[in-house]
Amino acid sequence: MPITFIDVERQKSLRIVLLLFLLVAFYFIFAFIVAQAVVLFMFRADSFFVFGSLKYAAIIAVFVLTLAVVHFSISGYTAVQRVIEQVRAGDPDPEDGIHRQLVNIIEEIHVASGNVRKIRCMVIPTLSMNALAVTDLRGEAVIAITEGLLSRLSRDQLEAVVAHEAYHILSGDCLETSIAASLFGIYASAVEGLKGVSEEDFRAVPFLFLFWVLSTLGSLVTMFISREREYRADAGAVRMTRNPLALAEALHRISARWSGTGFISDGLEMLCISSPTIDAHDESEGWLDDLLSTHPPVRKRIAVLLGMAHVSASVLDSQDRSRTAVQMPGSPASSVYGGSAQEPVVVCPSCRGQLTRESSESTVVFRCRSCMGLLVDNDKIPRILARKQVTCTDRLLALVRAVTADNQRSLAIRQKRLKEKKNEETILCPKCNRVMFRTFYSYAYLIEIDRCSVCHVTWFDTDELEMLQCLIENKIAGTIGIASDVQDV
């Protein structure tokens, strides 16, 4: 490892050439299939093999090579621009205090790295928490941070994250991932877009197929993007900022909250500081996981960093209390990396974040840290309800009144119209992926919840469990006359 960044030579990475070869191979196979199909079906030549003729083979090879080189150079030279457009990143606002802080931090990193390379910073206007670095063959380099991350990290932590991304750029490994993302990753969202179009317009189908193949290849590319580089970037960040604790805290926050799917599109995860999609491979180890994942387990990264800082992991948990954590003293909520690795990943049905184990009234439940929804086994609900002494705030009370009144009304309507099928949005069970059915907790307590009849679990949206408890404790009944109300409708 070089002593300073002035020593870091810009290495021409072998992997970039590999990417080009992969692309050429892909186009070659694609062209071969097309040519063979054309020959077989158009000219009705029964057993004609295209590459049997040297002339055809040469034409295809030349054609494919030009196409691949053009595609590669376009992707390579416009990677920054394309990724920025895709995540809708913008320049920091000079009027904004926090954005100005980000600009200052980038300047500091320039100083720390010896001004070897100019890096621009940008802001991604989403609430999710993530950061990405992208660079291209033109030499432009950008670090983009989401608004969510900007506002939820302290200055030191933000500095550590920026240093981590800057190391990716300075050490040169960002170039290969950027080109890979630009070549293949970008098409993942194009596939989603075209799926809708192709249902109406059949002309979109070939494009859909091509894009689908490209994005699938993209996920193959993740195979040779090594997880090691994340460890290296963490180490590099620590060398720049000399503050391993701040980076550990930042990673912990990013992993404990919502790292954000849907906003940072699929196919760009290799550019991000922590993987935005929840994937079982990311959080476990083994050769297969190493192959299929772009990021090492956050748990392990944090452990390494804490080792550098000589701090134990419990410090982080005590520092970072979640917003409404209902914790028993002495039984701290185990967070993402604290839990056992073998546990299956459970994903929040409404916002796709990872659910974390939490103990509520001495019982284990799963909470989503971003929308505060709660997943509870059915047989545990009475326990929680019986044990928990919830403080009914005015806000909660008002909410309960409004919701029960509203639900009473809709129940009355439903009964009158004899179970007319409502076109409601349904959510999928986090455990078995089947549709959950939306129902009332009971007809006495009109709080709507989602139940899975297979796994016997219940999903409470934000505040629903609290409302239910409030309702039971205060014995609030609906105050609207049913009969009169229905007539209005």
Does 199 bind other proteins (CB under 8 A)? Our answer is: no
Does 323 bind other proteins (CB under 8 A)? Our answer is: yes
Alpha-helical regions (H) of 356-478: 381-387, 394-416, 464-474
Catalytic residues: 165
Encode 176-210: b = buried (16+ Cβ within 10 Å), e = exposed. bbbbbbbbbbbbbbbbeebeeebeeeeebeeebee
Q: Which of 275, 256, 254 is nearest to 264 (CA)?
A: 275
Does 310 bind other proteins (CB under 8 A)? Our answer is: no
Give the containing element (helix H, strand E) for 460.
strand 457-460
CA distance 290 to 281: 8
What is the closest distance, in whole angstroms, from the C-beta atom of residue 114 to other proteins in the complex?
Answer: 5
Residues 152-181 that bind other proteins (CB under 8 A): 152, 154-156, 159
What is the closest distance, in whole angstroms, from the C-beta atom of residue 239 to other proteins in the complex?
Answer: 9
Does 111 bind other proteins (CB under 8 A)? Our answer is: yes
Does 242 bind other proteins (CB under 8 A)? Our answer is: yes
Contact stretch for other proteins (CB under 8 A) within 79-87, 151-159, 230-238, 478-486? 151-159
CA distance 172 to 176: 8
Minimum CB distance to other proteins smaller for 156 or for 377: 156
Backbone angles phi, psi at 121, to 5 degrees: -115, 150
Q: How far apart, in Å, are the Cα atoms of 234 and each of 219, 246, 273?
A: 24, 11, 10
Binding pattern for the stretch 66-105 against other proteins, x by CB under 8 A and - elsewhere: -------------------------------x--xx--xx
Q: Are 226 and 156 in contact (CB under 8 A)?
A: no
Minimum CB distance to other proteins smaller for 113 or for 408: 113
Does 118 bind other proteins (CB under 8 A)? Our answer is: no
What is the closest distance, in whole angstroms, from the C-beta atom of residue 316 to other proteins in the complex?
Answer: 11
What is the closest distance, in whole angstroms, from the C-beta atom of residue 273 to other proteins in the complex?
Answer: 18
CA 216 to chain CA centroid, nearest Å: 18
CA distance 269 to 86: 13
Query: How crowded is residue 37: how many other Cβ atoms within 10 Å of its Cβ?
Result: 11
What is the closest distance, in whole angstroms, from the C-beta atom of residue 156 to other proteins in the complex?
Answer: 8
Question: What is the size of the binding site for other proteins (CB under 8 A)?
Answer: 30
Backbone Cα Rg of the chain: 27
Does 17 bind other proteins (CB under 8 A)? Our answer is: no
- Identify the residue among 3, 14, 54, 418 touching other proteins (CB under 8 A): 3
- State the amino acid at position 326 in one-letter form: V
Return residues touching other proteins (CB under 8 A): 3-4, 6-7, 97, 100-101, 104-105, 107-109, 111-115, 151-152, 154-156, 159, 240, 242, 319-323
